[in-house]
């Protein structure tokens, strides 16, 4: 009997069914070792030797694996088919060798690009050895990320208090977001006018044509700069006669796009489904590992971390059969279509993301899938099937029109197109196709060259140029891919890290850099510019790819990098904080010192009128303060404004009136942590921060009184007789009754919610299992028993949903649906939580009763990044 090692329990369960009794399939639960999050884990002075640590949750699994291998005939390493999967196999093999569990047993490496019975059996018949160059590339990448993070981050902490850390790839992604923000701030809007004519044919059909030339001068989009010029053109056209100078109808074809890669799937899922990159990968992982359909578990898609666009020949045959049966013979091209990747080095090395069986249409499997799974599978299936369909046939018509008014002339153009045969568009249209669909569906009426056209209306419209849009997750991933920064398996983790560190926030699906993020980027650009350059980072990625191809030695790459990087860090260690602040004041002037409406010096303190404003660094990060401190105590939050571009604090404190009951003054102030209202002075003063969505310029006497009056008594509960109150807390607006909380949707609800709705909301929260004074919430979902004994459940507490085992409570990641939590995810979260707390509580609940081993911080799956990555 052979032991087969895969990464997840779900995959282990499915593959065990395929292989039968001659195999024991065990899960590693992702990575089993990592570099400890402390200095010295990578030692450049010892030729980049690395210390690996097995964390608490992996120790028992590795012991179980070693025990099983000792009694087995051989070992099959079947982790995922990418660099991370190769690394996990290497780690497992190294640990088993250290435990002397292998002896002379044969070791084979196999990869499954899809979790289907055929794919698994075919892979088992074609084993290979560990891909050493691929492991070397992993070691180099891991060492680089560690060295950058654990060398640069301490410098950052000392020079910019409040900053979290700086990672190799994340810092460059953050720079992209910040550079775009600076571009938006520099953008100068321009007004321009467009002129269009609504014309009629002799057959009484209307269409629109746009002005392209006037008095012999060709006009581009922005060429008409004033209302006067536009009105003069309109006056001429109002008296002109129009005729069709030429009509050209040109047939064209539009070809389908390739099937999804990791990055294009993330982009499409973001724009079409509203999924974040991490959510896309979570759902895709479930589809890859398999779902139960008709009593049989099968993977629905191929491996989802790939930059390849090719499809296996047998899969192409299946796609062609489905096209013929589902769409008809006319939609099937004579020959299969083949695609080649445009990536510089598609070392992640697989097929494109496609269905494992094209005959499993989205409609046929929808009943077996969760809602998000069904939506993502529908997207993948349609994109893949369309890639093997015939081109769309389109007729594009262009009409050139002359307009004459005496000796004066103008030219206009009408363009329309129509889809003559939809082809692949019957299955899938990418975003540019959908954007053009309105134009294509507006077919021009019959127009003959030389015939006169009737003038129906001349329209002049004013427009304003717009700055480039902020990046969305999808457009940032696309840009990173174009620049060669990062790789498919890293995009989701990179974006999640930026958000978790507070460097960016997502507003209406757009990435907005926080002040902290802009400070970090400016600091790195000012003092470590080479290491946040796009070309430098892309060139380093290429070297990592060359390592995976066996063309470069991984330690040579590390030596070259470390020689220059360590020298740059040494040169910055003695830098004084005042020098850092001077550089930041200059580079971030538009953000830090916005222009004043009165044209005065934006750096002049508005409170004392003598000091100069400057960035200051405090325990909790940067803020703006006066140089006359402590005589002048003026401060304001970095980047805060009143909604009109005027910085909060620019005009000092603003008096709003007095409290009608106490007679105390009510003042709008700005502190280090943002704007707030205050009643009274000294230690007895009542203060309230402004809730989310309320800007300083919107605060008046009435609103300030309302805030300072919180919490508000709604009324006694009809059953308990105890008071229900509404208030604003750290986690937003809430209701409180008998020690139990229920969330409110908005701050306005705090002031308006009535007793009936309050009782209803509290009841709904209690039904979900809200924690009261009495103890533990009711279980939302029971997952089963922990390997150490005891039930694992999903519950909803005061601060959100979590998984529970004994005395260990592990909060679910932000955005995670509590009803979608799997046993695998729960075990990983519980193990990580127990590890962070030293394992004491968990140890007491275990059968041994002793203390659990001390563990290091370790990610639950292979997509996790260490602190400095």
What's the pLDDT score for residue 768? 63
Q: Give the residue-averaged pLDDT of 408-417.
A: 93
User: pLDDT band at residue 798, thresholds of 50, 70 and 90?
Assistant: low
- Number of H helices and E strands in the chain, helices first, is 25, 34
Euclidean distance between CA atoms 628 and 622, whole angstroms: 17
What lies within 8 Å, CB to CB, of 481 at 6+ separation is 263, 343
Q: Is 328 exposed, middle or buried (0-12, 13-18, 19+ CB in 10 A)?
A: exposed
Q: Which phi and psi angles does 196 have, rounded to 5°?
A: -135, 150
Regarding pTM above 0.85, the answer is no
DSSP 788-841: TSSEEEEEEETTEEEEEETTEEEEPPTT--GGG--HHHHHHHHHHHHHHTTTHH
Of 556 and 696, more confident: 556
- 739-783 tens-digit pLDDT: 788 888 888 888 888 888 888 888 877 766 544 434 456 667 778
504-536: string of b/e by CB count within 10 Å (b at 16+)? beeeeebbebbbbbbbbbbbbbbbbeebbebee
Nearest residue to 456 via CA among 231, 194, 209, 193: 209
Q: Say whether 530 sits in a helix, a strand or coil.
A: helix
Spell out the SS3 assignment of 302-331.
CCCCCCCCCCCHHHHHHHHHHHHHHCCHHH
User: pLDDT band at residue 424, thresholds of 50, 70 and 90?
Assistant: very high
- 248-258 tens-digit pLDDT: 999 999 999 99
* pLDDT-above-90 percentage for the chain: 30
Q: Which residue has the tokens 């998984």?
A: 803
User: pLDDT band at residue 664, thresholds of 50, 70 and 90?
Assistant: confident
Q: Give the residue-averaged pLDDT of 175-198.
A: 92
Report the catalytic residues.
303
For residue 430, pLDDT over 80 is answered with no
Q: Give the residue-averaged pLDDT of 521-534.
A: 81
What's the pLDDT score for residue 777? 61
Euclidean distance between CA atoms 312 and 314, whole angstroms: 6
What's the whole-number average pLDDT of the chain?
Answer: 82
What's the pLDDT score for residue 378? 95
For residue 817, pLDDT over 70 is answered with yes
- 97-156 tens-digit pLDDT: 988 888 888 999 999 888 888 889 988 999 999 999 999 999 998 898 888 887 877 777
Q: Which of 159-173, 564-578, 655-669 has the highest mean pLDDT?
A: 655-669
Q: Give the residue-averaged pLDDT of 452-456.
A: 94
User: pLDDT band at residue 576, thresholds of 50, 70 and 90?
Assistant: confident
What's the pLDDT score for residue 843? 39
Domains with residue ranges and CATH for the chain: 2-130 (3.40.50.140), 141-184+501-579 (1.10.460.10), 191-255+392-464 (2.70.20.10), 262-385 (1.10.290.10), 593-598+613-708 (no CATH), 712-768 (no CATH), 779-845 (no CATH)
Q: Which of 60-64, 388-392, 578-582 has the highest mean pLDDT?
A: 388-392
What's the pLDDT score for residue 343? 54
What's the pLDDT score for residue 645? 35
**Residue 615 pairs with which residues in a beta bridge?**
624
Euclidean distance between CA atoms 519 and 80, whole angstroms: 39
Find out whether 415 and 447 touch, Cβ atoms under 8 Å: no
- 673-697 tens-digit pLDDT: 667 888 888 777 888 888 877 777 7
Euclidean distance between CA atoms 503 and 171, whole angstroms: 10
- 68-91 tens-digit pLDDT: 988 888 999 999 888 888 999 999
Of 466 and 530, more confident: 466
Rounded-to-10 torsion of CA 844, 847, 850, 854: -80
**Residue 647 pairs with which residues in a beta bridge?**
641
User: pLDDT band at residue 163, thresholds of 50, 70 and 90?
Assistant: low
Q: Is the dihedral of CA 773, 774, 779, 784 positive or negative?
A: positive
What's the pLDDT score for residue 497? 84
Find out whether 173 and 476 touch, Cβ atoms under 8 Å: yes
Find out whether 278 and 487 touch, Cβ atoms under 8 Å: no
Residue 489 sits at the vertex; the CA angle it makes with 484 and 491, to the nearest 5 degrees, is 60
What's the pLDDT score for residue 840? 39
Q: What is the DSSP letter of 43?
A: E
Euclidean distance between CA atoms 656 and 699, whole angstroms: 8
């Amino acid at each position: 009997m052979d032991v087969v090692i895969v990464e997840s329990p779900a995959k282990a369960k499915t593959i065990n069914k395929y292989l039968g009794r001659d195999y024991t399939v065990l899960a590693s639960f992702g990575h089993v070792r990592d570099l400890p999050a402390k200095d010295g884990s990578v030692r450049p002075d010892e030729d980049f030797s690395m210390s690996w640590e097995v964390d608490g949750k992996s120790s028992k699994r590795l012991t179980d694996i070693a025990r099983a291998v000792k009694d087995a005939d051989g070992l099959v390493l079947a982790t995922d088919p990418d660099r991370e999967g190769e690394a996990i196999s290497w780690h497992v093999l190294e640990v088993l060798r250290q435990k002397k569990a292998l002896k002379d047993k044969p070791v084979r490496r196999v990869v499954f690009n899809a979790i289907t019975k055929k794919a698994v059996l075919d892979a088992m018949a074609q084993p290979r050895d560990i891909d050493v160059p691929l492991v070397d590339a992993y070691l180099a990448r891991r060492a680089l990320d560690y060295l950058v993070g654990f060398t640069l981050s301490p410098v950052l902490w000392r020079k910019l208090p409040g900053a979290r850390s700086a990672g190799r790839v994340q810092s460059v992604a953050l720079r992209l977001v910040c550079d775009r923000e600076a571009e938006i701030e520099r953008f100068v809007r321009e007004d321009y006018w467009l002129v269009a004519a609504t014309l009629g044919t002799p057959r009484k059909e209307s269409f629109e044509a746009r002005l392209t030339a006037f008095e012999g001068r060709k006009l581009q989009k922005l060429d008409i700069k004033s209302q006067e010029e536009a009105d003069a053109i309109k006056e001429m056209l109002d008296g002109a006669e129009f005729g069709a100078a030429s009509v050209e109808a040109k047939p064209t074809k539009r070809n389908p796009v390739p099937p999804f890669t990791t990055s294009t799937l993330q982009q499409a899922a973001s724009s079409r489904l509203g999924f974040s990159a991490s959510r896309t990968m979570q759902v895709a992982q479930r589809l890859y590992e398999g779902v139960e359909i008709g009593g049989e578990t099968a993977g629905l898609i191929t491996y989802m971390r790939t930059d390849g666009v090719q499809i296996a020949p047998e899969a192409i045959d299946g796609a062609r059969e489905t096209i013929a049966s589902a769409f008809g013979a006319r939609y099937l091209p004579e020959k299969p279509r083949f695609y080649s990747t445009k990536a510089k080095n598609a070392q992640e090395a697989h097929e494109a993301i496609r269905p494992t069986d094209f005959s499993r249409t989205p409609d046929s499997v929808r009943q077996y899938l969760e809602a998000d799974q069904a939506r993502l599978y529908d997207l993948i299936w349609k994109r893949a099937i369309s890639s093997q369909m015939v081109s769309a046939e389109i007729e594009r018509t262009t009409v050139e029109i002359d307009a004459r008014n005496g000796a004066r002339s103008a030219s206009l153009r009408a363009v329309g197109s129509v889809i003559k045969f939809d082809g692949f568009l019957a299955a899938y249209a990418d975003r540019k196709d959908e954007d053009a669909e309105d134009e294509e569906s507006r077919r021009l009426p019959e127009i003959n060259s030389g015939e006169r056209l009737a003038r129906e209306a001349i329209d002049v419209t004013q427009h304003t140029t717009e700055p480039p849009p902020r990046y969305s997750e999808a457009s940032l991933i696309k840009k990173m891919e174009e620049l060669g920064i990062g790789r498919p398996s890293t995009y989701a983790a990179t974006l999640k890290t930026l958000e978790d560190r507070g460097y960016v926030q997502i507003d209406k699906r757009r990435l907005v850099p926080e002040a902290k993020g802009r400070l970090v980027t400016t600091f790195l650009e000012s003092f470590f510019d080479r290491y946040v350059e796009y070309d430098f980072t892309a060139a380093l990625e290429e070297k990592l790819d060359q390592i995976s191809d066996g063309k470069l030695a991984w330690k040579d790459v590390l030596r070259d990098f470390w020689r220059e990087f360590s020298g740059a860090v040494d040169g910055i260690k003695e830098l004084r904080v005042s020098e850092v602040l001077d550089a930041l004041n200059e580079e971030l002037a538009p953000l830090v010192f916005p222009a004043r409406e009165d044209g005065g010096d934006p750096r002049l303190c508005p409170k004392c009128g003598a000091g100069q404003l400057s960035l200051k660094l405090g325990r909790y990060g940067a803020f703006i303060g006066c140089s006359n401190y402590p005589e002048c105590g003026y401060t304001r939050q970095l980047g805060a404004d009143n909604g009109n571009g005027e910085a909060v604090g620019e005009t000092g404190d603003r008096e709003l009136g007095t409290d009608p009951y106490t007679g105390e003054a009510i003042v709008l102030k700005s502190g280090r942590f943002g704007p707030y209202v205050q009643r009274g002075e000294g230690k007895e003063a009542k203060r309230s921060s402004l809730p989310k969505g309320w800007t300083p310029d919107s605060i008046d006497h009435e609103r300030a009184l309302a805030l300072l009056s919180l919490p508000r008594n709604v009324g006694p509960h009809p059953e308990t007789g105890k008071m229900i109150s509404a208030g604003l807390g750290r986690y937003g607006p809430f209701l409180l009754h008998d020690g139990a909380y229920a969330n409110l949707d908005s701050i306005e609800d705090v002031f308006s919610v009535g007793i009936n709705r309050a009782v209803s909301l509290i009841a709904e929260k209690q039904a979900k299992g809200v924690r009261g004074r009495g103890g533990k919430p009711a279980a939302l979902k029971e997952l089963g028993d922990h390997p150490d004994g005891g039930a694992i459940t999903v519950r909803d507490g005061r601060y959100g949903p979590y998984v529970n085992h004994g005395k260990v409570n592990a909060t679910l990641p932000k955005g995670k649906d509590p009803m979608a939590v799997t046993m695998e995810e729960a075990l990983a979260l519980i193990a990580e939580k127990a590890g962070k707390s030293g394992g004491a509580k968990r140890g007491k609940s275990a059968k041994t009763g002793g203390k659990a081993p001390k563990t290091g911080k370790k990610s639950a799956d292979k997509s996790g990044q260490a602190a400095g990555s």
